[in-house]
Amino acid sequence: MNTRGWSGLAISLLLLATGCQESGVIGGSVTLGGGAGTIIYRADRSIDTVEEVFAVSSGSRLNEALVLPQTVQGFALTPDASAVVYIADQDTPGVFELYRVTLASPGVSTKLNGTLVSGGDVQELKILPDGSGVVYLADQTTDGVNELYRVLFASPGTATKVNGTLVSGGNVLEFDLTADSASVVYRADQDIDTVVELYRTALSGTLNSKLHSAYAVGRAVASFKLLPNSTGVVYAANQTTSTVTELYETVFGGSQGFTISASLVSGGNVLDFTVSPDSTGVVYRADQDTDTVNELYYVALSSPTVSVKVNGTLVASGDVSATYLMTPDSASVVYIADEDTDERFELYRTVVTGLARTVLTGTRITGSQDVYGVATIPDSSGVVYIADETSVGTRELYRVLFATPATSMKVNPTLASGRRVEEALVVSNSGSVLYRANQTTAAAVELYQAFFSSAGTSTTLNGSLIAGGNVSAFGVR
């Protein structure tokens, strides 16, 4: 049984509801002008440990100037790529608030959140997909009580609470926005302290409802994902049996909380899952057939509880890792597993229809070499992945096309021994990849772009970094 942790490239297929194609996330529905669109990044470029946001096109710092110990904690581009919304302790060190700055007027920002109670902070933001405003998580009203608020860009400082009334001790834990910008879905112990349930609020203000039957103490929703077509939500919970986590679906305005995962072996649980981009199915990881053996399954939402195994036969002690995703066309699943040799993690693809399985990894991985992350190419022609395929311990970026599996192409210039690509994102025209790596200097992680048509060469996108500086995140639209 592998106990290996996974880091590096994120694998979510969902375009973040912030309206920004962010580092580590592949979004095939964004149109990027000029092959890469508007690129922004966060770095401690001017003062070590003071993270700020910069535009690649102009080289300008976008936020108002910060000094120690201030920093930008999070950011996102608006859907029209004209502005950035960010969280920073810009006005008062240690007090994190929400700001908006246009790319046309760098350094001139507007505070968006309402007045914070003493000790309060903004913690997370998601831009409405229609670009009208932002929903954010903050302990704005009561210190230590996290709630959800919406503010429209046309009315900065005028925030409306969107969650229901919380019981004493309750908090909002997680939230997401439907793609049609009509509602917010969130997890919270809203009605009973420590009993985490799933709720939906229509942003028109007409509805705040629980998305399943009421839970008793000991039951909880562990995670959820919205259907991309805004018709419903899939969630993992111990709803039926307190000791078993299964998958459920609620259709907005329709059936609530019905089981979609297949029957589990005694001791089995659903571990995690992803929803297909076309909203027709779910891929989930579970020890469904054999307790403690984690495998991958697909269920069509039109046929709940009828699943098919996606991975091939696992070697003894083999597992499918938590790194898996569906291609943007929803036709196949890509996953990392030590399927053929225990503790040798390779990359596989299975076509959902017919369950045709292929090994994608280029030069056969041996010994301690592994695949560490994967992301699809938006046109569904293949994937990019991070692996120490060429040199043990040196994590580089490779592309493999589905038409020619096991034939990989290194994308980045050859890295010195021990260097590593941290994360990568294929831009939506599928012609190039943005990635972070300590490619030029061992002590500095920077932002690069490489085109598939000229693999092995790349361009540095960030400006000069101060000693100790690094690019920590990036986004593009």
pLDDT in tens, 333-366: 999 999 998 988 999 999 998 888 999 986 666 6
Does residue 7 lie in a domain region?
no
* Residue closest to 79 by CA, chosen among 161, 179, 222: 179
Residue 409 in any domain: the answer is: yes
Arithmetic mean of pLDDT, 207-228: 96
pLDDT at 12 over 90: no
pLDDT reading at 1 higher than 60: no
- In a domain, residue 36? The reply is yes
pLDDT over threshold 70, residue 17: no
Mean pLDDT of the chain: 91
Given a cut of 90, is residue 264 above it in pLDDT?
A: yes
Q: If you average pLDDT over residues 183-187, what whole number do you get? A: 97
What CATH number has the domain bearing residue 42? 2.140.10.30
40, part of any domain:
yes
Q: Examine residue 6 and state whether it is found in any structural domain, yes or no.
A: no
Q: What is the pLDDT of residue 36?
A: 59
pLDDT at 67: 97
Residue 158 falls within a domain, yes or no? yes
Residue 11 lies in a domain: no
CA distances from 359 to 320, 351, 363, 402 (A): 14, 12, 11, 10
Domain count, the chain: 1
Which range marks the domain in which residue 86 is found?
21-476
**pLDDT per position as a tens digit, 101-146:** 999 999 999 999 999 999 999 999 999 999 999 999 999 999 999 9
- Residue 80 included in any domain: yes
